[in-house]
């Protein structure tokens, strides 16, 4: 049974509260980082550390060892949260030197996203549409078919779909209003007539359609609460075995977030096919996905064999033109 959280109580309590307030004032949620700081805070209280000078590099190493993190990525997130906190404390002149001396772990494996092709995506939509209602959710098939369509067809984040309200859908203008998402930003996401028809059909079957107000969740449970991002992810994993997917070498089974990767990669591939220079459009894609800069979007642009083929052909054409201009 987890212990009830009563607030930061260690020698760094004031600093931890101020650090989180500062980051959130910049528009960051910092929920995972707060969890890491809570763990450190509890560790320091349990060790009865009463002075800042007693927080030594060896004590921080003991803390990291006390939180087993077999995967480098998980360990590095915990390690990085401490580094950012103590660096901020130094910058604020609350601390003279960081007690974090250990290095992050080297990742031994890069997880490749699994990109569903359109045929596999259609199978996903079909099996989701056949989901039966259960004790917590009615219109389950319509809800999850629409949810996965938005994730794959518009590249939305799972949390963004979970938080959608009826008032966020403008069927006339064909746009979704994505509110207060990552980095506390909002944006408008246009959609086409097929997604518009799907949303209209879903709202007509909505479990609370008799009292639909602007604040009602688009994807709602019987109790009126939204279908959570965790439930969406779990449902996706339950449906994957029915999709008859061939997992390529170097990839693992798909995650629901891979639907967002697939959207970005398909967009880039469409540009190549239409002769559009991706560099001229990358900032537009970043805005559509809700990224603060195009560098963040580049993470999603997985190089598939088809993308590499188009890129190689473009380079070959460019190289031939250059060579023709070289004096012989």
Please confirm, yes or no, whether 157 is among the known catalytic residues: yes
Residues facing 187 on adjacent strands? 178
Please confirm, yes or no, whether 222 is among the known catalytic residues: no
Of 206, 260, 266, 310, catalytic: 260
Please confirm, yes or no, whether 106 is among the known catalytic residues: no
Alpha carbon distance 174, 177 (integer Å): 10
Alpha carbon distance 111, 108 (integer Å): 10
- Residue 188, H or E segment: strand 187-190
Please confirm, yes or no, whether 79 is among the known catalytic residues: no
The conformational region for residue 155 under phi > 0 = left, psi -120 to 50 = alpha, else beta, is left
Of 140, 261, 291, 310, catalytic: 291
Please confirm, yes or no, whether 140 is among the known catalytic residues: no
Of 30, 75, 152, 300, catalytic: 300
Of 79, 140, 145, 157, catalytic: 157
Alpha carbon distance 279, 276 (integer Å): 9
Alpha carbon distance 251, 321 (integer Å): 37
Of 17, 23, 187, 257, catalytic: 257
Please confirm, yes or no, whether 173 is among the known catalytic residues: no
Of 182, 255, 281, 314, catalytic: 182
Decide: helix, strand or coil at residue 215. coil
In contact, 44 and 15? CB cutoff 8 Å: no
In contact, 79 and 102? CB cutoff 8 Å: yes
Instruction: Provide the annotated active-site residues.
Output: 157, 182, 257, 260, 291, 300
């Amino acid at each position: 049974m987890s212990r009830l959280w009563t607030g930061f109580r260690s020698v760094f309590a004031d600093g931890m509260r101020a650090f989180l307030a500062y980051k959130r004032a910049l528009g960051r949620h910092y929920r995972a980082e707060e969890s890491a700081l809570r763990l450190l805070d509890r560790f320091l209280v349990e060790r009865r550390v009463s002075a800042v000078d007693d927080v030594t590099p060896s004590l921080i190493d003991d803390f990291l060892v006390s939180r087993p993190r077999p995967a480098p990525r998980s360990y590095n997130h915990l390690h990085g949260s401490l580094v950012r906190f103590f660096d901020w404390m130094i910058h604020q002149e609350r601390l003279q030197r960081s007690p974090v001396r250990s290095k992050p772990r080297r990742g031994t494996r890069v997880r490749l996203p699994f990109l569903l092709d359109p045929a596999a995506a259609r199978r996903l939509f079909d099996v989701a549409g056949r989901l039966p209602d259960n004790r917590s959710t009615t219109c389950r098939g319509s809800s999850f078919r629409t949810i996965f369509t938005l994730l794959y067809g518009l590249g939305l984040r799972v949390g963004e779909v979970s938080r959608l309200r009826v008032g966020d859908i403008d069927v006339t203008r064909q746009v979704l209003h994505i509110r207060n998402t990552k980095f506390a930003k909002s944006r408008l996401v246009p959609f086409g007539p097929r997604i518009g028809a799907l949303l209209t059909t879903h709202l007509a079957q909505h479990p609370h359609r008799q009292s639909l107000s602007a604040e009602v969740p688009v994807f709602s449970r019987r109790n009126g609460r939204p279908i959570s991002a965790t439930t969406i992810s779990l449902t996706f994993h339950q449906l994957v075995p029915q999709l008859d997917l061939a997992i390529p070498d170097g990839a693992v089974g798909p995650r629901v977030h891979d639907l967002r990767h697939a959207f970005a990669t398909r967009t880039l591939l469409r540009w190549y096919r239409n002769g559009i220079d991706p560099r001229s459009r990358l900032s537009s894609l970043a805005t559509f996905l809700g990224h603060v800069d195009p560098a963040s979007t580049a993470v999603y642009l997985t190089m598939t064999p088809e993308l590499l083929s188009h890129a190689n052909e473009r380079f070959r054409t460019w190289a031939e033109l250059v060579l023709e201009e070289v004096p012989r």
